[in-house]
Structure formats: structure tokens, C-alpha cells
């Protein structure tokens, strides 16, 4: 049985003090769920990591970054290394979010480098894949997700694949209020698990947690958690308020699976 994993992606929101307050609110509102019934991760912007790490001290809620570079250090202006993220207390890093791919030119190859580096430095990558609206309309969802997953996993050993978290985030569902249907989410999550099995074998694939992301709310989380291949959620907008994120964590951890 895979343990549910609910992560909040704050994107470009929250200063250090604001983030610390939100983290305290989340930790209080979810009580003892984190670490016992679900893994709960907060992913603030880099500038709030330190403050949020402080606010989460003594809590089982984990810290994640929104991206990670592949080198330990060096001439990469504007980037943050996996070693730096470890040093500040991160356990997770989002990799390949569609906003990085869409607005900042991140490629499948870069996503692979970031994924490999994260694992190598002991961070759990949350590897995001998902099709754009025109790709779905053209019937290309399977082809696009297959390409993204195969590229992200290239060169990883089965032992490394086991450590990943995957996130299926259809681009058209992000921030739109229009979530995927449960049927569509299961179809793609099932495809991702099949691709994991092809790359790393059935045992490893059975252990990897796959999140759904895109307009997840307290009202729809249970529908996604009930799917056989969905083990959690990557939450954007609804993670910016302690009560809505806590409601998602609570309903997600309690959902029939």
C-alpha cells in the first residue's frame, strides 16, 4: 500500500514571514496526519525556504523546493543546487513543472538532469508531466506523456526510480478551476505506471507514488484519491490558505483507497 502524498506548490507567492505563518497554520490544522497517515510537503519559493523550515521544526510536514539545478555549485546564475536545498532542510524538489517548461524553456533533457541530480543528492524529486490543451484535443496525450516520462527517467536505475514521486498535471487543468475527470486522471496515471514498469520493472513501478495535479480542491480530492493509480495530489492555488490545504490533506488521507 502506497502512503498518500499531498504537496502544496506555492509558486511565486509568500514572503518568508507570510510563508512561516502559513506553514504554522497548516501544521496546526492537520494535527497528527503528517508522517502517520500521509506525507505532507510544502514547496515555498526559494526565498521563503529558510523561514518555512524554521516554522516546520518539530513538525512532520516536509519541505520541498520548486526546482533544482543539476550541479552541486558553479557558474549558473539564478539557479539553486541540490546540495544547497539539502543544507536548508529540503527533502523534496518539484522538477519539470509545466510552468517551467512553458515560460522558462525547460526541456525534457533538462528535466532528466535535474531529476538525476535530485536523487543523487538525496532529494525526492516530484517529476511533473502533462499535456497541453491542444495536445489533448489532437488525441496526443498518451504520446506526449510517454515522451516526457521516458525522457525524465533516462539513465536512472530501478533503485533510483523507486524513490521518485511522479505528478500528472494536465496543463489545461492548472489554475483553471477545471480539473481532469477521474477517468482521464486514472487513464494517464495508469499509463505512467506502465511506463515506470517498462523502465524499472514491476516491483519498482508498484512503489512509486503518482500524484494528480490541476485544480485540486477539498471537494474533489477524494475522487482522485479513490483511483487505483493516484496516490496523492500536487496542489497550487488551494495550498495558499491553511484551511483549504488542511481540508485537502485531511480528506486525502481519509479517502477510501
97 is catalytic: yes
What percentage of the chain's residues is helix, strand, coil (to nearest 5)? Answer: 50, 15, 35
Output the residue with the shortest Cβ distance to ligand PGA: 236
- Give, as ranges, the residues between 4 and 43 that touch ligand PGA (CB under 6 A): 9
**Chain center to CA of 216:** 13
69 is catalytic: no
N-to-C CA span, the chain:
9
Cell of 63: 519541505
Work out how close the CB of 249 gets to ligand PGA at its nearest, in angstroms, rounded to a whole number.
14
Other CB atoms within 10 Å distance of the CB of residue 31: 11
- Nearer Cβ to ligand PGA (38/204): 38
Q: Where are the alpha helices (DSSP H) in 89-218?
A: 98-103, 108-120, 133-137, 141-153, 158-162, 182-200, 202-207
Work out how close the CB of 160 gets to ligand PGA at its nearest, in angstroms, rounded to a whole number.
23
Does residue 244 bind ligand PGA (CB under 6 A)? no
Does residue 237 bind ligand PGA (CB under 6 A)? yes
Q: Would you call 1 exposed, middle or buried from its count of C-beta atoms within 10 A (0-12, 13-18, 19+)?
A: exposed
Report the C-alpha gap between 100 and 104 in whole angstroms. Answer: 5
Does residue 131 bind ligand PGA (CB under 6 A)? no
Among 19, 130, 236, 252, binds ligand PGA (CB under 6 A): 236
Does residue 216 bind ligand PGA (CB under 6 A)? yes
- Give, as ranges, the residues between 132 and 191 that touch ligand PGA (CB under 6 A): 169, 174-175
Catalytic residue among 97, 106, 131, 135: 97
Does residue 213 bind ligand PGA (CB under 6 A)? yes
Which of these ranges, 70-78, 106-114, 188-196, 212-220, lies near ligand PGA under the rule CB under 6 A?
A: 212-220
Nearest to 49 by CA among 97, 12, 16: 16
The owner of cell 482522485 is: 224
Work out how close the CB of 210 gets to ligand PGA at its nearest, in angstroms, rounded to a whole number.
14
Query: Which residues of this chain interact with ligand PGA, rule CB under 6 A?
Result: 9, 169, 174-175, 213-216, 234-238
- Would you please indicate which residues are annotated as catalytic (active-site) residues? 97, 169
Amino acid at each position: 500500500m502506497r502512503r498518500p502524498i499531498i504537496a502544496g506548490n506555492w509558486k511565486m507567492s509568500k514572503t518568508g514571514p507570510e510563508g512561516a505563518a502559513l506553514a504554522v497554520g497548516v501544521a496546526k490544522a492537520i494535527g497528527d496526519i503528517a508522517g502517520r497517515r500521509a506525507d505532507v510537503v510544502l514547496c515555498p519559493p526559494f526565498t521563503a525556504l529558510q523561514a518555512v523550515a524554521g516554522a516546520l521544526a518539530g513538525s512532520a510536514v516536509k519541505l520541498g523546493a520548486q526546482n533544482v539545478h543539476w550541479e552541486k555549485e558553479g557558474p549558473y546564475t539564478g539557479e539553486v543546487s541540490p546540495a544547497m536545498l539539502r543544507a536548508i532542510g529540503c527533502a523534496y524538489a518539484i522538477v519539470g513543472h509545466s510552468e517551467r517548461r512553458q515560460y522558462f524553456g525547460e526541456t525534457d533533457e533538462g528535466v532528466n538532469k535535474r531529476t538525476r541530480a535530485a536523487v543523487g543528492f538525496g532529494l525526492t524529486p516530484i517529476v511533473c508531466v502533462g499535456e497541453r490543451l491542444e495536445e489533448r484535443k489532437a488525441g496526443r496525450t498518451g504520446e506526449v506523456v510517454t515522451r516526457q516520462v521516458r525522457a525524465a527517467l533516462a539513465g536512472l536505475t530501478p533503485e533510483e526510480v523507486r524513490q521518485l514521486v511522479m505528478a500528472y498535471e494536465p496543463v489545461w487543468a492548472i489554475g483553471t478551476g477545471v480539473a481532469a475527470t477521474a477517468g482521464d486522471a486514472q487513464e494517464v496515471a495508469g499509463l505512467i505506471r506502465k511506463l515506470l514498469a517498462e523502465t524499472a520493472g514491476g516491483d519498482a513501478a508498484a512503489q512509486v507514488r503518482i500524484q494528480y495535479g490541476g485544480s485540486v480542491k477539498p471537494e474533489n480530492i477524494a475522487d482522485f484519491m479513490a483511483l487505483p493509480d493516484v496516490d496523492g495530489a500536487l496542489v497550487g492555488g488551494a495550498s495558499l490558505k491553511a484551511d483549504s490545504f488542511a481540508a485537502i490533506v485531511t480528506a486525502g488521507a481519509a479517502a477510501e483507497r
